Chains A and B, each alone.
Chain A
Amino acid sequence: MAPVPTRTAPAVSSEGITRDFDSDAIKQMLPHRWPMLMIDRAHDVIPGERGRGVKNVSINEPFFAGHYPNHSIMPGVLIIESLAQLVAVIYVAERLEVAPKVSVQDVQASVGYLGSISKMKFSRLVRPGDQLDLEAVLGPRFGGLREAAVTARVGRNVVATGTLIVTSTR
């Protein structure tokens, strides 16, 4: 089994070591593929704690064909999906810190499931050409579950914010 390649050298920020992951690295971390890979890049990731990410919204995405044919709006639930995938990257980054030589299959298998969505608010519509600036801050753990406060912005405007609970084990 090939180990997950390290893509970039870690940067040192005022909060400690942070990591960046481009989409090739993310594909080694998450089992998600087209049409459900909803994060293009992750940056300033403090493994297991918090991180930021980018998802570019393109007219070329399959869901725009139906949502809606004459009025392209990104579904809120897919904004949540992008945020949940950032949370997964932050998780897996922690796993890689602990066991850097682990195989890609094992790493992808450690991605958990979405357990709960609460207090999600969608403040603005998201359209083709927007760039989602994603942020996730992970909170307490209990019983194999973990809370994450998530926010998506386009420019300076918050477009979605709320709390997710994800499983941390399979």
Chain B
Amino acid sequence: MSTATIAAEDVHTRAQKRFDKAWRIKSEIIDKLGLETRPERVSDNQPLFGRGLEMDSLDSLEIVVMIQNLFGVSISDDDAGAFGSINALVDFIEAHEEK
């Protein structure tokens, strides 16, 4: 196979993995926080706090515990930027999970 084909497959696989992660996170958040919505209705760029998913600080601790249990990744107080959106959360997990 050509290099271009391998590169395209690699990008596709990574994109799929990312999509799966985001979907999983959205499903778990909806389930855990009892939100009245569905994963397909949650945009990846939607803010988690305030307008958007309207999470509060208590929810954020629940998410920290959930991410620790699902992906083995710890989020500390210094990483609060990870909660900007679903995309930001997935970025953080991908940057910190063990390959």
A, B co-complexed: yes
Residue pairs across A and B with Cβ atoms less than 8 A apart, 17 shown, are: A115-B57, A116-B62, A139-B65, A140-B61, A140-B68, A141-B61, A142-B60, A142-B61, A142-B64, A143-B61, A145-B58, A145-B60, A145-B61, A147-B61, A147-B62, A147-B65, A165-B61
Tell me, rounded to whole Å, the shortest Cβ–Cβ distance linking B11 to chain A. 33
Interface size on B, residues (CB 8 A): 13
B86 within 8 A of A: no
A145 to B56, CA, bound (A): 12
Q: Are A116 and B65 in contact (CB under 8 A)?
A: no
The residues of B that contact A139 with a CB separation of less than 8 Å are: 65
- Is the contact region of chain B dominated by helix, strand, or loop, or is it mixed? helix
**Residues in B lying within 8 Å of A, measured CB to CB:** 57-58, 60-62, 64-65, 68, 74-77, 80
Interface size on A, residues (CB 8 A): 13
**Residues in A131-152 with C-beta less than 8 Å from chain B:** 139-147
